Structure 1
Amino acid sequence: MSMIRIHGANQNNLKNISVDIPKHQITVFTGRSGSGKSSLVFNTIAAESERLLNETYSTYIQHQLAQFSKPNVDLIEHLPVAMIINQKRLGGNSRSTVGTISDIYASVRLLWSRIGEPFVGYSDIFSFNNPKGMCETCSGLGYVEDIDLNELLDFNKSLNEDAIRFPSFRPDSWRGKRYLYSGLFDNDKKLKDYTKEELDTLLYTKPTKIKHPPDNWPRTAKFEGLIHRFRRSFLLNDNFEKNKFRDAIDRVVTSKKCPDCHGKRLNPSVLTCKINNLDIADFTNLSIDDALKFIADIDSPKANVIIEPLQQQLEALSYIGLNYLTLSRETTTLSGGESQRIKLIRHLNSALSDLVYIIDEPSIGLHPDDIQRINEIIQSLKDKGNTVLVVEHDPDVIKIADHIIDLGPLAGKHGGEITFTGTYNDLLNSDTHTGDALGRTHHLKSPNLSDLNYMHLSHISCNNIKDVSVKIPQHAMTVVTGVAGSGKSSLVHSGLKQVEDTIFINQKPAHASSRSNLLTYLNIFDDVRSYFSEATGLKKSLFSYNSEGACPECHGKGIIKTELAFMPDFTQICDICHGKRYNPEVLDAKIDGLNIADILALTVDESITFFKKNDFIAQPLQALKSTGLNYMTLGQTLDTLSGGEIQRVKLSKYLTKTVQHHTFVFDEPTTGLHEDDIPILMDCFKRLIEAHNTVIIIEHNLTMMTHADWLIDIGPFAGEKGGKLLYQGEPRGLLKVKSSITAKYLKRYVSSSS
């Protein structure tokens, strides 16, 4: 049997790993969270495959591609070209939809141009991204945005007093100075006292040269009214700043459906073209299942050549459990799991073989019923002559492996070793955390809820949820179950969004850049800097790599990036600070032999010991450890965290201080968690409940369901075939509900291990 051979992998926490991976088989990588699975599979194997492939292109092409530095590995032999199907959201912007990202919309446009009546033009005119086809009012977005002046401006203040209520327009910012330094306004005059002419100048002036500008006005700059500048900077372009100031933008900008196209994105003449009484936008607003029915009813021999492949594409989306989506759904609203499944079906009909498919936790966001289909797709990729590598925690996915590689034994510095290789049956009999977890028996809870009060969510209607009422026991743990797209999140979020003292903890990234780390998110980096300042006598600001303490060569980034015209950017570790980000004076200042950069390299466990006498720092770190993130380093940047890790970092903030009489809502908190890490999370939930809080969990994980005091099951299926309350009550009662898909899998999970 031919093998992919890894020799001496030392990437991140890997400890000189050498391992053989069989080709043309399914290999599943298992192990505790943080054990090194991603370091081996993504940061070593996938990164090296992509790097070597990129090197075969011309320097011009290489410049257009993502750059990969050589991973820390001695040698990889017999490495195929990698296709990476990861958890990254598809992203894009408002112009990117399920239809456009999957290329299905191209077939739909062709169909309407071929047989739609009356004929209005060729397929490109049906594109809402084409000026000929788009609605003029909303430029093809389907909505229009207005700026709320009362939110953007404080009319009781002057420009000097921070009258522009937006972070990047403060008086000391470069944007703010474009108004203060213009010489056009009395900077101490309250906005409410401006004449109409003055206010119009401030808000609506188109970019124009100032005739006699003050000395401090930039020589080549044009003056631009606030509304024009704001619209250009934050509404018309998708950029880093738009994400950075998302909360402030949401406060200032109101969005509503376009009054002319009513959200259909296209101009009136294009929308006159119909097939069986539906225009193209009506069709893309149908669920995938309804779209399939519509296509099946089209009787047109000249369109068969378009219809057959279109049907296959839609059937693939439906089969993979995305039958509830619409082609018009914006990609920015898709979850990581939904994004991953769309990427997966792109490869279903590929004629390529002998590739290595690398798939990151395909079970995420999926009900056990959907996982069966994912397994069939993984199997079909292998049957075409490909090698499939899967990083996974879910027992149902691990079972289909031909070969399993387990990493551990623990996480971070205590992981990074191969603890097992072999078959699933051998794994069950092995002395590993994964083997122990897979062989564990599970029993449903028999809670005593007689003394509890209930919260009532009445007559909830949202998306596919129609007039559903549920009750939730207070100071207990409720798990809301159902297949993906059944309406779980709609029910919980709609029912609780107006309820006071409700805290939603989701997996959305914390606003993060390469300059924000665990300490900044926990608001204790300031305390750490004070601690060093007091002990060493140096100024506090010197201990910030974003401020005075930054290495003068790399400006606190730790790396030097050189842009080379038509060649890839060249990145190297700064040879002054050696990647430590600080200037030499700061690095010489030590406490107990450690400088500030050494502290950032400590794990949470190690730092708790170091700061044991400082409660302000130690307590938040202790809370972080209690969520199972003890393996992370203090300097780890937030943009490198997984969705599950982000959720646990957010949770730790509420474990630092006692929060009482709140309702906590968690969205799939077991994401990325090994079965052996789930008890750690359960202890956190118990702490919240003991402090008189209510915990509600939206979850597919069967182990988590066995810990529930109360189950609410929504279904039976997804989209329009879901949205009904199938069961609410103590866990055991769900097993009797024949219409519940969850009951079928939960019964098997409990009885097979009882």
Structure 2
Amino acid sequence: MTTDDSILLRGVRVHNLKGIDLDVPLDKLIVVTGVSGSGKSSLAFDTLYAEGQRRYIESLSSYARQFLERMDKPDADLIDGIPPAIAIQQRGAAKNPRSTVATVTEIFDFLRVLYARIGIVHCLGCGRPVARDTIDGMITELLREAAGTRAWITFARPRDAGLAPLRKDGFTRALVAGDIVDIEAVPKAVRALDVLVDRIALGVDDRERLADSLELGLKKGEGRVVVRTEDGREYRFSEKLECRSCRLPAEDPYPNLFSFNTPHGACPECHGFGDLAVIDEDKVVPDRSKTLDQGAVEPWTKPLSRGMQKELLTEARRRRIPTNVPFRDLRPEHQRFVFDGGDGYYGVKGFFDWLQSKKYKVQVRVLLSRYRTYVACPACAKTRLNPRALSVRVKGLNIGEVVRMTVAEASAFFEGLELEPFQRQVAEKLVQEIRGRLRFLMEVGLDYIALDRMTFTLSGGEAQRISLAAALSASLVGTLFVLDEPSIGLHPRDNHRLVRILRSLKDIGNTVLVVEHDPDIVRAAEHVIDMGPRAG
């Protein structure tokens, strides 16, 4: 073989490899198998991946290299023809509590842009859809509901803004209790004038006049105009994004609004984590058969906190709370007093609040962690996002409800998502990307996993298959992928799906090298490297 179609390895002496010579074909699905200790990982990860990654990093600028981990050069006489390498190993996923299945697969990134482009904003007050009124939309509504009636087009003007500018612009009349009066004759008690723009017969006078009058009313009324009909109906229009019913303003959605990693979108209560750290009362009082005298409040039995125990007993006696009765038998209000305090006494929670200000000390952080637990944030219901982000919906669902779905449920939702013609122009490619990534997750047998599942809760096999699906979604070519037993944790009946994914990765122009023992995967390989029978 030549370096054009294979990786040449000569005299490899990494770990227990004893100077082996090997040609590894490029653009193939290759399986490395063998007994334990034969050197499979030494060949796959410590030689091929290490050298491929090292050479790629060396090709980068010195500025970029300072941010990347440097890898040692494998001990070998010759390694030639090796492409850039990516390792997908059997390791736990990142411990970052902000990392989820949706973020590592970039599904969440596409969702953010999708909701920013086609999401419908809903009012935070009444929950109704919020939209800007257009001139064409106003005319259509008026002619549909009030055609043939006379109407007055007005805009609101604060009296303290002065009447002279109105007269200068040609506005001399106002509408007061259904009567048209001179603006000078409006009672002083009326603080906002309904300035008359036009009297018009809807559907009788020409459409152009109606459009011009509405446009003038919007211009002079700071984006708002009111149309009142002779039968008492009132139509309030606004070119601003606000609720028609309760007039609450809204704002156009943008991608960062849906990111829990930025202040724009993060829930103000949990700061984008989805959970709140609270004191666990069962850990503070683990044995409720103890009395206050016996140290029922466990953290105050420690030497450094005995002063708090003495103060508790003093306060309890002053309020006639029994100190020689088991904690579980105390009246509920007495138990709450121990935890919550009151009337100048800080209680257990006040004590831990004070400790929060001292958590720069290691021993304080250890103490807090001992008595702390995490509960779902009640403000965002674990979606991590603020109310403005959750008020934007696509087909009736907000982004938090979508990422709460399993991969299978989300795939069904997006496969059935039908876009309006104007939505297709801005969102068709986004939906295709989301569908593709969900399809790859289904292919590797992860249809049961929720998109908002935190990555540090995944098993090694699940994390590896998510990385595999993400790599396939990225459409990388000319790359060496090195995988460590991807079939672990996968039901044997799903092995054919895994093989299909590995072949897809190879077919787009990559070399896929898998350390594997599963017979189905070995049989599917185009080239097998059998290590052994002894080490190296």
The TM-score, its normalising length taken from structure 2, stands at 0.61
2:26 maps to: 23
Structure 1 residues 232 and 321, CA gap change in structure 2 (3 angstroms): farther
Following the alignment from structure 1 to structure 2, what is the Cα–Cα distance between the partners of residues 135 and 338? 29
Structure 1 residues 355 and 202, CA gap change in structure 2 (3 angstroms): closer
One-letter amino acid of the counterpart of residue 78, structure 1: G
3-state DSSP class of the match of 1:254? strand
Following the alignment from structure 1 to structure 2, what is the Cα–Cα distance between the partners of residues 276 and 201? 47
8 Å Cα contact 2:115-2:253 kept in structure 1: no
Structure 1 residues 373 and 139, CA gap change in structure 2 (3 angstroms): same
2:92 maps to: 89
1:122 maps to: 254
1:348 maps to: 472
1:139 maps to: 271
The residue correspondences of 1:337-736 to structure 2 (distance < 5 A) are 337-410=461-534, 415-416=535-536
- Please state how far the C-alpha of 1:400 moved relative to its aligned partner: 1.2
One-letter amino acid of the counterpart of residue 256, structure 2: D
| CA offset digits 1:338-362 (Å, max 9, x no partner) | 1111211223244543322211111
- Please state how far the C-alpha of 1:97 moved relative to its aligned partner: 0.9
3-state DSSP class of the match of 1:346? helix
Following the alignment from structure 1 to structure 2, what is the Cα–Cα distance between the partners of residues 106 and 351? 17
8 Å Cα contact 1:156-1:191 kept in structure 2: no
One-letter amino acid of the counterpart of residue 252, structure 1: Y
Following the alignment from structure 1 to structure 2, what is the Cα–Cα distance between the partners of residues 156 and 407? 69
8 Å Cα contact 1:144-1:255 kept in structure 2: yes
8 Å Cα contact 2:443-2:501 kept in structure 1: no
Match of residue 300, structure 1, among 402, 420, 439: 420
- Please state how far the C-alpha of 1:92 moved relative to its aligned partner: 3.6
Structure 1 residues 202 and 250, CA gap change in structure 2 (3 angstroms): closer
3-state DSSP class of the match of 2:436? helix
Match of residue 226, structure 1, among 347, 355, 358: 355
Following the alignment from structure 1 to structure 2, what is the Cα–Cα distance between the partners of residues 146 and 205? 10
Structure 1 residues 189 and 106, CA gap change in structure 2 (3 angstroms): closer
2:223 maps to: none
1:193 maps to: 310
8 Å Cα contact 1:27-1:404 kept in structure 2: yes
Following the alignment from structure 1 to structure 2, what is the Cα–Cα distance between the partners of residues 332 and 344? 17
Matched, 1:7 2:131: no
Matched, 1:107 2:110: yes
- Please state how far the C-alpha of 1:43 moved relative to its aligned partner: 0.9
8 Å Cα contact 2:352-2:368 kept in structure 1: no
Following the alignment from structure 1 to structure 2, what is the Cα–Cα distance between the partners of residues 152 and 42? 48
| CA offset digits 1:555-598 (Å, max 9, x no partner) | xxxxxxxxxxxxxxxxxxxxxxxxxxxxxxxxxxxxxxxxxxxx
Matched, 1:37 2:40: yes
1:551 maps to: none
What is the alpha-carbon root mean square deviation over aligned residues?
3.4
One-letter amino acid of the counterpart of residue 17, structure 1: I
Structure 1 residues 164 and 263, CA gap change in structure 2 (3 angstroms): farther
Matched, 1:318 2:442: yes
| CA offset digits 1:268-322 (Å, max 9, x no partner) | 2222222222111111111222222222233323232322222222222222211
Following the alignment from structure 2 to structure 1, what is the Cα–Cα distance between the partners of residues 431 and 389? 21
| CA offset digits 1:98-151 (Å, max 9, x no partner) | 111111111111121222222652111011222122211111222211134774
Deviates more, 1:275-284 or 1:192-201: 192-201
One-letter amino acid of the counterpart of residue 403, structure 1: H
Match of residue 372, structure 2, among 244, 250, 253: 253
Structure 1 residues 352 and 293, CA gap change in structure 2 (3 angstroms): closer
8 Å Cα contact 2:57-2:65 kept in structure 1: yes
| CA offset digits 1:151-187 (Å, max 9, x no partner) | 47999999xx99787xxxxx9xxxxxxxxxxxxxxx6
3-state DSSP class of the match of 2:450? coil
3-state DSSP class of the match of 1:348? helix
One-letter amino acid of the counterpart of residue 484, structure 2: D
One-letter amino acid of the counterpart of residue 384, structure 2: R
Unaligned runs of 5+ in 2: 122-250, 287-291, 316-343
8 Å Cα contact 2:31-2:525 kept in structure 1: yes
One-letter amino acid of the counterpart of residue 227, structure 1: Q
Structure 1 residues 189 and 145, CA gap change in structure 2 (3 angstroms): closer
Where does structure 1 differ by over 6 angstroms across 4 or more consecutive aligned residues? 152-158, 161-165, 195-203, 231-235
- Please state how far the C-alpha of 1:363 moved relative to its aligned partner: 0.6
8 Å Cα contact 2:436-2:473 kept in structure 1: no
| CA offset digits 1:480-501 (Å, max 9, x no partner) | xxxxxxxxxxxxxxxxxxxxxx
Structure 1 residues 188 and 111, CA gap change in structure 2 (3 angstroms): closer
Structure 1 residues 104 and 233, CA gap change in structure 2 (3 angstroms): farther
Following the alignment from structure 2 to structure 1, what is the Cα–Cα distance between the partners of residues 12 and 293? 62
Match of residue 267, structure 1, among 381, 386, 392: 386
| CA offset digits 1:491-539 (Å, max 9, x no partner) | xxxxxxxxxxxxxxxxxxxxxxxxxxxxxxxxxxxxxxxxxxxxxxxxx
3-state DSSP class of the match of 2:524? coil
Structure 1 residues 25 and 293, CA gap change in structure 2 (3 angstroms): closer
Deviates more, 1:112-121 or 1:91-100: 112-121
3-state DSSP class of the match of 2:357? helix
Structure 1 residues 162 and 36, CA gap change in structure 2 (3 angstroms): farther
Matched, 1:280 2:399: yes
3-state DSSP class of the match of 2:117? helix
Structure 1 residues 363 and 156, CA gap change in structure 2 (3 angstroms): farther
Matched, 1:335 2:459: yes
Following the alignment from structure 1 to structure 2, what is the Cα–Cα distance between the partners of residues 4 and 13? 20
One-letter amino acid of the counterpart of residue 398, structure 1: V
One-letter amino acid of the counterpart of residue 530, structure 2: D
- Please state how far the C-alpha of 1:33 moved relative to its aligned partner: 1.9
Following the alignment from structure 2 to structure 1, what is the Cα–Cα distance between the partners of residues 87 and 508? 17
- Please state how far the C-alpha of 1:251 moved relative to its aligned partner: 5.0
Q: Percent identity?
A: 38
3-state DSSP class of the match of 1:317? helix
One-letter amino acid of the counterpart of residue 291, structure 1: A
1:51 maps to: 54
Structure 1 residues 24 and 270, CA gap change in structure 2 (3 angstroms): closer
One-letter amino acid of the counterpart of residue 382, structure 2: G
Following the alignment from structure 1 to structure 2, what is the Cα–Cα distance between the partners of residues 288 and 162? 44
- Please state how far the C-alpha of 1:326 moved relative to its aligned partner: 2.0
Deviates more, 1:362-371 or 1:16-25: 16-25
| CA offset digits 1:395-414 (Å, max 9, x no partner) | 1111112221222224xxxx
8 Å Cα contact 1:157-1:163 kept in structure 2: no
3-state DSSP class of the match of 1:399? helix
> Could you say which structure has the larger radius of gyration?
2
8 Å Cα contact 2:260-2:384 kept in structure 1: yes
One-letter amino acid of the counterpart of residue 42, structure 2: S
Unaligned runs of 5+ in 1: 166-170, 172-186, 207-224, 236-241, 417-754
